[in-house]
Amino acid sequence: MSFHNTVLTQDVRQAAAWIRQGELVAFPTETVYGLGADAFNPTAVRKIFAAKERPRDNPLIVHIAHIHQLDRLVIDVPETAQRFMERFFPGPLTLVLPRHPAVPDEVTAGLPTVGVRMPRHPVARAFLEACGTPVAAPSANRSGRPSPTRWEAVYADLNGRIACILQGDRSDMGLESTVVDCTGPEPVVLRAGAVSLEALRDVVPETRLVARNESLKARSPGTRYRHYAPQARVVLVDHPDEALPDPRHAYIGLSPPAHPEAFGACCICPDVPTYAYELFDFFRRCDAQGCTHIYAQRVPRTGLGLALMDRLERAAA
């Protein structure tokens, strides 16, 4: 179904009514805006892939309002997952768990696992509560584009393709959730995100990063295709002097270039969390200005820097 205009609302009950009717709703979370459908309605879930032009073999994350909703989604919660939930739920962490047979293949891409997250964003929590069902939701953007941190970015990508946008403030973090597979003998981080590897290891010291060619990557969204890319070419640099000043070029990083005024757009961030928060919004701003190149400074792969470098490298692929 196509819509002449997507409905904009701040009413969680109005937005949830669209979910119960089998339609798509974009909603704010603390990470980025999500594009939701009833996780147990295969027809509705297929609309997500059509609206985003997303490959069908890319699994979705299911968002819940309450822990008891896990009973409908998974057949087992390993002890490591229990420990992570005690520390990080609600929050920006997705756990990959053994899938319940009732979960449609459309959600899991036919995998025996399902990713589950409980957002902490108050509007997201109220929305999920009003839906009364787990909601499958990837980021609310056209596939491959920068994830949206504002409802206006969702509207720019998906107006007329989805029923409703639940309007909220700009996302708090700007990067997607961390995805951890808890189905094996040790937890494996499939996608770096807003919860750092160091924080996870404080809870379960055996937690490790997925190996580059490990087949487990298929269990997480955001790992198999070019993602997070603006229309401009993204060029990674170690030092701002490597960026070529030009009105058609942009720069983002922790250190300022010698002549920031020579760039069409420039974003100097005081720290890595600010860099992560600004990244996707800056990408979209550069596209709106018609920039041809975006120079992005590399950061150390520690803490949130691991997730930030993952997004930068995928954008530059």
Write the CA distances from 53 to 46, 56, 115, 157, integer angstroms.
10, 9, 21, 11
Q: Which amino acid is at 312?
A: L
Round to whole Å and give the CA distance between 61 and 197: 20
Q: Which residues are part of a known binding site?
A: 31, 54, 58, 63, 113, 117, 137, 139, 147, 177, 191, 228
User: Which of these, 115, 143, 160, 138, lies nearest to 55 by C-alpha position?
Assistant: 143
Residues making up the annotated binding site for ATP are 54, 58, 63, 113, 139, 147, 191, 228
Strands (E) located in the chain: 7-9, 25-27, 34-38, 61-63, 93-98, 113-117, 135-136, 164-166, 178-181, 188-191, 208-209, 233-237, 249-253, 265-268, 293-297
CA distances from 178 to 92, 143, 189, 205, 306 (A): 7, 19, 7, 16, 11
Annotated binding-site positions for L-threonine? 31, 117, 137, 177
Cα separation, 137 vs 60, whole angstroms: 6
